[in-house]
Structure 1
């Protein structure tokens, strides 16, 4: 019994360091820039050019140059948030007591899903930058539903994006995003918790006991934090870069020529739902993408599909989380995101957007 006591009482500097990192990091990377960006959106009804193809009707032809151009533009937009995500994901494992994550996010009921979704709201990260934090949460026994709600909630329920969207696209788009986003984040989290088997729950409990013992053994917390950070960076970043390069090169294949011929038919809505789920964009990148495509005459149906499928998941984020969830769980997430895209596309048509 005495050997487990240190695991229940983390180092006195663990919590303050984690909170300081989270608050200072998010303020510098997200909250302060987005505060000023909201005034720009209100005044100009724009937050910049589409990262997908600028103002052109077609993406550049697949090439190494196209891959590098997109990777550079994307990396410039997200690198600070990615570093912060890696720092927070490793800090969850090194600075917080093992039992805390399991207590708040580890239960299979709706409470852990609600907690994950609510904790995601101030994060405002894109799907790939949130992924390292999700890796850290899962490593400390967060439930599948709680972790997925946190993952999706960062991008789908991002309050800054909803404000940008209202000023740039119209508040009806923000309302649709918020309504379907709440259903996606909390509904999908609840569904994923239902797919957890008793064997998986027992295995998670065994891992938690092992982590508790490791924390009880002590050691320098900063050395442990550095080791976890390095291990996560080496495992996650290279595959992430390769996949972003590939998607940047394949833009012309995933998104065809944009114009009035891209109508609000069911076929186009389904197509854009699938490619939107696969593609990767920075935080709020869907807003100028949709604005540019609508200006080129594309139907509102495919635009509605991108509204719900571009932000929450992508091929790189799926790859980064492949070791944290079973393949079937990630397949359920991807298919459900596509379904929400189809629903959003049909809703924009039915509501006369």
Structure 2
């Protein structure tokens, strides 16, 4: 690796801090696209323009979650130290903020009722939440809270990732034992097998629901154990060690990104143009574990490696984002919907509303998390991770 690749600030690998910033901002931006791809209430005259830009940005932002997983793999594989210590440190760090903020999100509709706010405001915050929340009922909020051990609610859609993250933490020490001993060739063969599984969503939708031993009584096919987000874990670990020249990075990354984006965007637009479609079909081309999204994620990761941050101020800000990042993820969903409402109210052009709203939501979330850290000190880890 070159010197800039190895550079660190306060024990942070600087280019991984850049990847983290890209992942954080794109996930906020992605959630700012929700009110464009799912429009509650009466449709405006420019709904087609809204849907176009929702698809255009939504497709481009799909690498957001895979980047988070790749960062985890790049930083934590192979796992060092005792397994129980790893579990205690990692899982407890995400569990308490997850529980606290899940409760807050689910109480939000009831709180708006106590404040005398109109029920429609809930849909401005959470466009996917549905009509039940507009009752602003404590019983509805409590029923959602009771379901937290089993799944997320539509008021806290982004919390789906925390269930995944805890699962990845549970799996990491087991996977790590193989990663530590495997050759680069063996890791590549694993990634090839994983790559094959990223085509399965399309096979299941357009060819047959069963393949390689799956059937009505068996969901675990031949490559099941190579599938899923563990592939992104290994990909992050593997690509961290690859030192491509800038020319090679651009030569590989740009065409890969263009092709991946073209498939993601045109596929999503095709589905949304159909008279009827299921939720599963709507998400098909946006699926994180699909080849087109993998083809977009690798360029994001490798291009970020080439960012040489010389400003000490920017390095400190990136290092601070490492501390505040999980908290930003927890709180940002409160501000994405209102950010879009604000952009529409002040007349920002539709083509710029999503990134503009994301800048506001990201900045407000970051400031709020830093304030929590300042007010609570060491106890902030229980609130913001």
Q: What TM bracket, shorter-length normalisation?
A: under 0.3
Q: TM-score, normalised by structure 1?
A: 0.28
Higher relative contact order (CA 8 A, sep 6+): 2
